[in-house]
């Protein structure tokens, strides 16, 4: 089976090859650094299937090209699938698989890392101490114990975040369109989205990007938030209207912003751009604030998660080949 891998990095190659060798599977991977677009789809012309990541776009025209090459399967090596027109793929007889859960704890732990670093200003303290500056002025944090944390989306990652925060003694408010029985057995309380937004000291986003959740954090909701609120997004960039958030930071309504994802990350993240002029004024503005901490979509990036991603993606490809589709991984 020949599989073209788009947006591949050295670590993808390392983990996929290691797993292929471990199970002696007969898959011939063609690792391409290029992101999948209308222009790069041609790289898959000799493949039987493709393996893609979060910023590879499979709209109608890309799907049409892939179908014309005879490709019948798209394996996503991630959980979210907002970048794929799944309905259209299905109509065209193309199947799509994903990795529904690869160490949700990894993303949850990164969420907490952003929260803690912003609160205790570790990003500033690190630089100060490196320069023998031990002045504490400007590093004042708050005690997390008994702070109200609002968790939006209580699926696998949201639940793991709730579990960790309960260890800190936080009061947790949750919102989800489908309430979880596991959450109900804890001290966390479900409430409406608007009440969560109004009451929380920290708001953390763990729902998928859908037409309903796009710009869930917008001008109107920011207006209702507590003065000095902390917002954390490790889910998908478009959950936040970045321009609205910048306004909120300038007016001091938002006291802290932690992002692992960004609305326009597609043309930015996963590459070393340190010698380039970044042509995104909104992102550059975000970087100027002392109370904003951004990481480049690394929430998933642990040894354990990469092993699980390789294992499940390869299983999905082998299952497609055997015409065995398990519901948890196959979207169509
Ligand atoms: P999940 O499917 O287990 O949970 C998502 C939850 O969101 C579900 O409980 C669902 O009911 C809820 N939801 C759906 N629509 C909603 C809405 N309109 N309002 C409120 N809640 C809603 O997914 P998960 O594994 O917990 O992942 C959550 C998100 O994290 C993914 O969609 C993905 O975008 C993101 N993610 C990021 C990284 C990273 O590296 N930063 C890695 C993996 C996943």
Q: Checking phi first, is residue 88 left (phi over 0); if not, alpha (psi -120 to 50) or beta?
A: alpha
What average pLDDT does range 184-200 have in this prediction? 97
Share of the chain above pLDDT 90, in %: 98
The partner residues of 330 in beta bridges, in order of sequence, read: 97
Beta-sheet strands, E only, within the chain = 2-5, 28-31, 49-52, 73-76, 95-97, 148-152, 171-175, 189-190, 202-205, 229-233, 254-259, 292-294
CA 68 to ligand 1 centroid distance, Å: 33
pLDDT of residue 80: 87
Residue 62 has pLDDT above 90, yes or no: yes
CA 300 to ligand 1 centroid distance, Å: 13
Could you read off the pLDDT of 144-157 as tens digits, one per residue? 999 999 999 999 99
Q: Of the residues 77, 155, 236, which should be mutated to test ligand 1's pocket, given the most ligand atoms within 8 Å of the CB?
A: 155
- Dihedral angle of Cα 82, 112, 245, 193, to the nearest 10 degrees: 70
Could you read off the pLDDT of 104-130 as tens digits, one per residue? 999 999 999 999 999 999 999 999 999
> Could you tell me how many residues make up the chain?
332
Which pLDDT band holds residue 202 (cuts at 50, 70, 90)? very high
Helices then strands, each counted (H, E), the chain: 12, 12
Which pLDDT band holds residue 63 (cuts at 50, 70, 90)? very high
CB of 179 closer than 8 Å to CB of 151: no
Structural domains in the chain, CATH included, are 2-102+302-321 (3.40.50.720), 104-294 (3.40.50.720)
Of 73, 77, 206, 265, the active-site residue reads: 265
- Measure the CA–CA gap between 223 and 226, rounded to whole angstroms: 8
pLDDT of residue 101: 87
pLDDT of residue 267: 87
Residue 285 has pLDDT above 90, yes or no: yes
Q: Which residues line ligand 1 (CB under 6 A)?
A: 79-80, 101, 104, 107, 152-158, 175-178, 206-208, 210, 212-213, 234-236, 260-261, 297, 299-300
Which pLDDT band holds residue 27 (cuts at 50, 70, 90)? very high
Angle (nearest 5°) at CA 222 between 192 and 288 = 140
Residue 53: name the closest of 311, 330, 324, 309 by CA. Answer: 309
CA 145 to ligand 1 centroid distance, Å: 26
pLDDT of residue 275: 97
Catalytic status, residue 236: yes
What average pLDDT does range 269-296 have in this prediction? 97
Catalytic status, residue 297: yes
């Amino acid at each position: 089976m020949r599989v073209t891998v788009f947006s591949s990095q050295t670590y993808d190659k390392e983990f996929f090859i290691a797993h292929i060798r471990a199970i002696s599977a007969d898959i011939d991977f063609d690792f391409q650094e290029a992101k999948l677009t209308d222009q790069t789809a041609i790289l898959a012309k000799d493949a039987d299937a493709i393996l893609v990541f979060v910023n590879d776009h499979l709209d109608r025209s890309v799907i049409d090209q892939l179908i014309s090459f005879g490709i019948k399967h798209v394996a996503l090596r991630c959980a979210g699938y907002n970048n794929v027109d799944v309905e259209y793929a299905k109509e065209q007889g193309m199947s799509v698989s994903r990795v529904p859960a690869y160490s949700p704890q990894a993303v949850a732990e990164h969420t907490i890392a952003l929260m803690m670093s912003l609160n205790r200003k570790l990003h500033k303290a690190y630089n100060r101490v490196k320069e023998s500056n031990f002045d504490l002025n400007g590093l004042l944090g708050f005690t997390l114990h008994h702070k109200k944390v609002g968790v939006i989306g209580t699926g696998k990652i949201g639940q793991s975040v709730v579990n960790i925060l309960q260890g800190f003694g936080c009061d947790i408010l949750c919102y989800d369109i489908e309430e979880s029985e596991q959450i109900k057995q804890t001290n966390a309380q479900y409430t409406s989205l608007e009440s969560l937004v109004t009451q929380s000291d920290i708001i953390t986003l763990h729902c998928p990007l859908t037409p309903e959740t796009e710009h869930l954090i917008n001008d109107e909701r920011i207006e209702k938030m507590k003065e000095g609120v902390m917002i954390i997004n490790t889910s998908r960039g478009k959950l936040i209207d970045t321009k609205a958030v910048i306004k909120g930071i300038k007016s001091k309504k938002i006291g802290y912003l932690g992002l692992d994802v960004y609305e326009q990350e597609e043309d930015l993240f996963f590459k070393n751009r340190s010698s380039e002029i970044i042509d995104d004024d909104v992102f550059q503005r975000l970087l100027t604030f002392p109370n904003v901490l951004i990481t480049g979509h690394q929430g998933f990036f642990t040894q354990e998660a990469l092993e699980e991603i390789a294992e499940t993606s390869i299983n999905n490809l082998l299952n497609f080949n055997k015409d065995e589709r398990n519901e948890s991984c196959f979207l169509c």
